[in-house]
Amino acid sequence: MVVTLDSPVRIGKAAIGALGTLALALGTLQAVVEPSLPLLQHDLGIGPAEGSLIFITLLITGAVVAPIAGKLGDRYGGKRVLVVLMATVSAGGLISSLAPNLPVLLLGQVLQGAMVGALPLSFILVRKHLPPGRTQVAVGLVSGLFTGGGLVGMLVAGPIAEHLSRHWMFAIPTTAIIAATLLVSRLMPDDPPAASDAKIDWLGVILLSCTLVALVLGVMVVTGGGLPPLAIVAITVAVAALATGWVAVERRVASPMVDLRMLAMPAMWSSAVVTLLMSLGFGMAVYLIPQLLSLSANGYGFGADPSDIGLFLLPATIAGVVAGTIAGIASRRFGTRAVITVGAIATAATLIALGSLHDATWQLVVARALIGFAVSVSAVALLAGTATTVDAKDTGIATSLLVVTRVVGVALGAQTGGAILDASTDPRTGLPSETAFTTGFIIAGVIAALSLLVLPAMKKGTKA
């Protein structure tokens, strides 16, 4: 039997601003590694393969923590779990800032990866303290500022690392996270947890975590190439066996980690499928466009160096920030399904057009900005729609599953793009053919377009 407490107190702009500030600081900390990876590799004496472990570690931790944090937030209160999670992230940031070697830095990244759980916890808070219309706007604001933090991190990481040190690159955003967490703790009222005598489904937690880890690692290993068919089959069977075991446990326990009946809701499963398909197409674009920009200008590339590529991608990052706020307002006015439909059409059309229109840098810059805007609008609309469609007690776990689906989809898309280029690489020059890029963009567009087939199953979004 579940008993809820009295209706929660409504919150004002200051509390929402504190959540947004926290999201901005988290996005900054998450993004500082990518532009400074060459410096980290040189400073720590590691190669590219070891350097990639930093990204893999954070990705795996985020995929595991997000659904667990969402479930615990649903049960014990979003604010309480968020504060504990931010303490973990802050400890990770401090460890990363003091790390003398790769193992210690990886430990810091493991703890930092817990930041992925902050988004579903924030959605729990705004769902409990705001009416549906304002919830969608708040979800868009928080999501947009998290993306904006990525922009800040990309811009400040290099100057901080070069003029101060790599240690301050982690320490400064971590300090901002600590300050923002204190603001959230002070300004955000306690949200009533669900009082229940049921035990936590720890077996379900473990099986879901193992399934996600196996899936992420399996995708990276398989798409990396070089594995015999038998090994690929073994990885697939292992992931399927873990997923099957998790489903079997969730069907039998009295209080499952994830209510499978919730997953069977048209609004939920269709949101997950749309998120996966659009993330796959987006991940392929994220990988292919920088690769095309960096290829030698003597062929069909543009010879852009890392600094140039960062500037070329800046409009896309800005577009993603703007999209967050617009998505929340548009979802409130027109409904979730209408916003996602427009986003999916724009994403698919732009990707397919890139198959033939990639002869100038401005075409790639504009296309990447359009894709970033459309995908971000759709992602925020999906999160906002889910947050206001499922029962309030399931807000955290439902939105966290979408967050994980997006992370896995982008990773799988990027690996797929890499596999397409590797398959067409000329052994004499070591360069992929232009046809590979054309094929990759068109495949990405078709994958994104497939999401339109699923949208009819989605209920019309909540309006104010």
φ and ψ of 390, to 5 deg: -75, 165
Calculate the alpha carbon distances from 43 to 88, 96, 163 in Å. Answer: 26, 13, 14
Q: Round to whole Å and give the CA distance between 23 and 16.
A: 11
> What DSSP state is assigned to residue 398?
H
Q: Round to whole Å and give the CA distance between 297 and 68.
A: 47
Residue with tokens 């469609």, as numbered in its chain:
389
Number of Cβ within a 10 Å radius of residue 261: 10
Q: With CA atoms as reference, report the closest residue to 215 among 411, 416, 444, 30.
A: 411
- The residues spanned by each domain of the chain are 7-130+142-196, 201-256, 262-457
Number of Cβ within a 10 Å radius of residue 255: 14
Q: Round to whole Å and give the CA distance between 85 and 124.
A: 14
DSSP structure string for 358-390 = -SSHHHHHHHHHHHHHHHHHHHHHHHHHHHHHS
Residues 6+ apart with CB under 8 A from 424: 432, 433, 435, 436, 439
> What DSSP state is assigned to residue 189?
P
Strands 2-3 and 195-196: antiparallel
Query: Given this model, what pLDDT does residue 6 score?
Result: 46
The domain defined by 262-457 carries CATH number 1.20.1250.20: yes
Identical topology for domains 7-130+142-196 and 262-457: yes
Residue type, 12: G
Per-residue pLDDT tens, the chain, 464 aa: give them.
344 444 555 666 777 888 788 888 888 888 787 666 667 777 777 765 566 667 667 777 777 787 777 777 777 777 888 888 899 999 999 998 888 888 888 889 889 888 887 877 777 777 766 666 666 667 667 777 777 777 777 777 777 877 787 888 888 999 999 999 998 888 877 776 665 555 777 787 788 878 877 877 776 676 666 667 787 788 889 888 988 988 888 888 777 777 777 777 777 888 889 989 998 998 888 788 887 887 776 667 787 765 677 678 778 878 877 887 777 777 777 878 888 899 999 999 999 999 888 888 899 999 989 998 898 888 888 877 776 677 766 666 777 778 778 877 877 787 788 778 877 777 777 778 888 889 999 999 999 999 999 888 776 444 43
φ and ψ of 425, to 5 deg: -70, 130
Q: With CA atoms as reference, report the closest residue to 395 among 140, 76, 70, 66.
A: 70
Q: Round to whole Å and give the CA distance between 320 and 234.
A: 38
- CATH entry, 7-130+142-196, from 1.10.10.10, 1.10.3720.10, 3.40.30.10, 1.20.1250.20: 1.20.1250.20
Q: Round to whole Å and give the CA distance between 384 and 376.
A: 12
Calculate the alpha carbon distances from 323 to 206, 250, 262, 336 in Å. Answer: 35, 36, 28, 14
**Rounded to 5, what percent of the chain is helix, strand, coil?**
80, 0, 20
Query: Given this model, what pLDDT does residue 424 score?
Result: 79
Calculate the alpha carbon distances from 23 to 283, 338, 427 in Å. Answer: 22, 27, 45
Query: Given this model, what pLDDT does residue 1 score?
Result: 39
Number of Cβ within a 10 Å radius of residue 143: 30
List pLDDT tens digits, range 324-360: 777 777 777 787 888 889 999 999 999 999 988 888 8
List pLDDT tens digits, range 9-34: 566 677 788 878 888 888 888 878 76
Alpha helices (H) in 164-265, listed in sequence order: 166-187, 202-223, 229-252, 260-263
Q: Are 265 and 396 within 8 A, CB to CB?
A: no
What are the CB-based long-range contacts (under 8 Å, 24+) for 99-105? 101/44, 102/44, 102/46, 102/50, 102/53, 105/40, 105/44, 105/54
Element (H, E) at 40: helix 37-44
Query: Given this model, what pLDDT does residue 4 score?
Result: 44
Q: Round to whole Å and give the CA distance between 378 and 226.
A: 35
Q: Are 257 and 206 within 8 A, CB to CB?
A: no
Query: Given this model, what pLDDT does residue 397 score?
Result: 73
Q: Are 75 and 194 within 8 A, CB to CB?
A: yes
Angle between helices 395-423 and 434-454 (to 10 degrees): 150
Query: Given this model, what pLDDT does residue 392 score?
Result: 64
